[in-house]
Every structure is written in structure tokens, then in C-alpha cells.
Amino acid sequence: MPSDLSDSRLANIGARLIRDDWASFSDRFRIVTRRAQLRFVEGDKSGMASDHVERLDLYSRSAGHAAEALRAMLDDRIEDRSIWAGMKAVYSGLIQDRPDWDLAETFFNSVTRRIFVTVGVDPRVEFVDTDFEAPPHDPPGEVFRTHESEGTAALIAAIIRGADLAGEFVDLERDCEAAARIIDMRLRRSGMPPVTTAQIANMVFYRGAGAYLVGRLLAGSRRIPIALALLNHRSGIAIDAVMTTETELSILFSFTRSYFHVDHERPHALVEFLSELMPRKRRAELYTSIGHHKHGKTELYRDLRSHMKSTGDRFEFAAGTPGLVMEVFTLPGFDVVFKVIRDRFGAPKQITREHVKSRYRLVFKHDRAGRLVDAQEYEHLEFPIERFDPKLLEQLLSECGRTVRIRDGQVALDHSYVERRVTPLDVYLASGVDCEAAVLDFGQAIRDLAASGIFPGDLLLKNFGVTRHGRVVFYDYDELTTLDECRFRTMPVSASYEDELSEVAWFPIGPNDVFPEEFATFLGLEGRLREVFFSKHADLFDAATWGSWQASIRMGEIIDVFPYTEAARLDVTR
């Protein structure tokens, strides 16, 4: 067929093919997303977890289907960039009336990159920047509802009634009054007048066992972010917590959490609204948090390009102890790190490159429980050679030559992971600031991961980090595994003194055997900090503790780790 048709005709057919595959994907994405309401009403945690994985797999299949259809249609002209340039122009016109035009641009890029192994970017065949100077369709106010009522409790009741929750409350009046007490107390402490108006997103945010109503309260000229956390108990729905600060909402939408299931037509408008509530959070992160991780990657890359154009920042080694598996580097003024897999892993690592990638795929699909850093996978990034610290570049070429190369004055990264930058826990503790709180949260992080069915594998301090909100998170995934794969054991009693002195284990050890008693030796905590850790987390060194968590996981029990503190919870739910 290609030889019989003109370039413009092929471009038109190809553009419509990609548009149709995008529309099909978008419809299926929303079908899975809408199930969240039923999962919440029925208390179906396992169904929600399955939907999470199903939805993540949809994108790759859809982009792959479009690429294969184009290969079949264009045949030997599949890499004709003049056709693709025309296809991009036609496609831009086809999506301009779609409310999800921004995501549709990224989908085109995803298809393109399945055809061309482009190092860097090619604006002729990719939407490196959006084609639209201003959003084609973002009517003001359409993303939220405005509620007005005298009295905070009545306002909360109006918010609840305005949401389509399709379930009965245990005692809505009681919950509204309890939520109002929390809000009114915080307002009084801040010297703010009472609230009479609320602007709440007109869609419900579902994740795990929770449902969240998100927006802002108006108190005079002040705008106060708010999120109501709802749980569905056997007896009915209840308000579980109230969040009223930017920090609390930022943790709710954290890069360490699984993505929300939120049914919306205008993602750009929703992200703009959320940005007003959390101005310090990147739009890239907000797109990702509402389930559009591919467009989140696009936005992050655009932010990175903008930063590099406006600054002279050079890539340099990231803070912390170098690892045996990854080379990690960063830009001082840009809050992410780049991780590249080494060609060879030093002893005692006995894993493969594919194993490392599989661990990142596991984290991508698993419940991150607020403790695992989301990693965006990139291929064929390219940056000017002068933007690299010479010692860093020498190290990358020496240790990562399979992945990093120099081409026409550019440093090409064939494969990398990009994560939010956090302060390594060992570096944080050396600063002497809030050390005891960080150590206690370190133990809680291990517990939260176990509750989600994850065993970090390597519990060294250097593999954990501290976020700007003071939360301890885990980011070194090469030894990470599921709790179910581990065999937690108690150290056998030695038969002789010689056995204890032996450098070789005198008892058989399987590849998945884990001895929690040994954790204390490798944690790297000393003195007062060691005492603080043991005061609350001594049971982490007991195989029976891990065995009980493992048994719960095997029985299908899903233990929720909620993104708010006890202080945010209503008195009636404690």
C-alpha cells in the first residue's frame, strides 16, 4: 500500500490510526478507573489491587498495538521521517478538540519511540513541547464544585452530599461535627475567621481502601487546602481523617504512593487545580499521582530542559555512599537523581542487570505504602558533554560503558531511572538534626513495607533517604523482594566454640533465608540512636515477627498504610 499512496495520504491514515488507538486506550483506562467506586463500596481491596496492575499494563499494550499497525501499513517506509512529520501535524489537528489533548501528545511520542531509536529528541516527529500555547479546553470552575453553608459542620455535610459516593454513612452527622472540630481548632490557632465556602474537586480520588475528597476552604481572603479521607467499614462509610495543610496534601499525593484512581475528563484542568493547593509540587508529579505516569515523564523532561536552558548547572555525583549496582548523579538545582546500572557489580553482589530491572518493575506495580520512591524509566536521553563534571563523566564511561557513550559532543544515556532526590539517611543522621525522629521513622518504614508485602533486603542506612517532610523512604531496589519469597529463620545454636569462630557458616543456608537477628549488626546505628531504635523496634530482630506478617500476606490480608498521621484522624475513629 505505501507505494500506491502519497505521503500526505499516508500521514492522514497514520495519524487517524494513532488517534483511534489513543481514544480506545482512554476509554478502557476510564472503565478500569470507574471500578474504584464499586471496589470502595464493596470493600474489595484485592479487586482494587488487581485494577491497579491492569490499568498500568494498558498503556504499553495500546502504544505497542499502534506501532505494529503502523509497521504493517507503512512497510518499508516505516522510518520515513517526512511521513511522520506530516503525521504529527495531522494528529495535532485531530486532538485539539479532545479534553485530554496533553496526554494524547505523549501517546504519539510513545508510538514514535517504538519505531525510531532516537537518541535525544526529534521535534519533527515528537511533541517535545506541546503544540498548544494555551489549553484548548479548560473552562474555569469546571473542575470543582462550590459549596456554601453557615457553620463548618454543615459545610462538611454539603461537601459529602455533593460527592457521588454510592454508599451509606454510619453516622454522617457525628462525623461532620468531629471533622468541624478539627478544622475550627486549626483556624482559631492560626487566627483565621470561620469558613463558609468550599471549592471541592468534582471527582473522588480512590486509592487502596480509601476515598478522598480534595479541594480548599475559603476563610476570608485565605485559602486553606483540605482533604477528607473516607473509609468503608462493614457498618458503612465514615470520615476517617481531615487534612488541612499543604504538607498533609503533599504527603497524600506523594511520589512514594501508588497512583490514584480518579475519573476525570480534563486532566490539565485538574492538575492546575491541584497545583494551586500544592504549589511546591511539580505538575509532572501531579500528573503521575492521578495515574498518567507517561505524561508525568513528559512533563518532567520538559521541566529538565527548561532548567538546563536557564541555568549553568552541571551534573555531579549525588550525595551519599556510592553503591555497587548503580551510578547516581544529579543537577544541584533540580530535585531529582539519575541512576544508571553499572556494567559490573562488585562483591558480594551476585545479581544480573535484568534482575535489577525486574526489581524496578516490581516496585512500579506494587503498593509503595508511602515508603518506596517512584522511579521513572527513560531511554536514550542526551545531554551536552560540557554539562557533566569531568570526574563524573569519567566514572560513567568507565563503570557504565554499556549504557553511557559520547556521540557528537553529547553524552547519551541509553537507559536510566529518574527519581526524586532525597537526603540519604546516613547523611541526614550525620547532620544531627531530628535524628531520633528519623531513626524511629526508619523502623516504621520497615514495618510499613512489610505490611505491604515487601522486604527491602538490604537494610543499610545508605539505602534509605529522608524527604523534605522528614519521612524515611527506601530507594535501593536491587535486593528488594516480596515478603512471601523469604524464609525467615532463627539462628541455630552452635554445637561448639569452633563453629562460632568459623568464617564459613556451619549450618545450611538457602538462597532466600533471612536471619532477622543479624539486622542489628548491619544497621549502622550506634550509641543513643541504637537505643532509640531498639526502644520501639526491637521486634524487627525476631524471626517470629516477620513470620506473622508473612502469614497475614499469604492469607490474602491487605494491611493499609494510610497517608496521614494519627493527629489528623477524627476522635470517633480512634
How far the first Cα of the chain sits from its last, in Å, is 68
CA angle 487/490/495 to nearest 5° reads: 125
pLDDT attached to residue 574: 45
Q: Which residue has the higher pLDDT, 158 or 122?
A: 158
Grade residue 509 by pLDDT with cuts at 50, 70 and 90.
Answer: confident
**374 tagged catalytic:** yes
* pLDDT tens sequence across 195-250: 989 999 999 999 999 999 999 999 988 999 999 999 998 889 999 999 999 999 99
Q: Is the separation of the CB atoms in 244 and 260 below 8 Å? A: no
3-state class of 551 per DSSP? helix
Question: What percent of the chain clears pLDDT 70, i.e. is strictly above it?
Answer: 95
* pLDDT tens sequence across 55-94: 999 999 999 999 999 999 999 999 999 999 999 999 999 9
The DSSP code sequence of 212-280 is: EEEEEEEETTEEEEEEEEEEEETTEEEEEEEE-SHHHHHHHT-TTSPPPB---S-HHHHHHHHHHH-TT
pLDDT attached to residue 137: 59
Helical (H) or strand (E) element with 395: helix 390-399
Instruction: State yes or no: pLDDT of 141 exceeds 60.
Output: no
pLDDT attached to residue 135: 66
pLDDT attached to residue 19: 98
CA angle 384/387/392 to nearest 5° reads: 110
Round the average pLDDT of the chain to a whole number and report it: 92
Q: Which of 21, 100, 240, 374 is catalytic?
A: 374
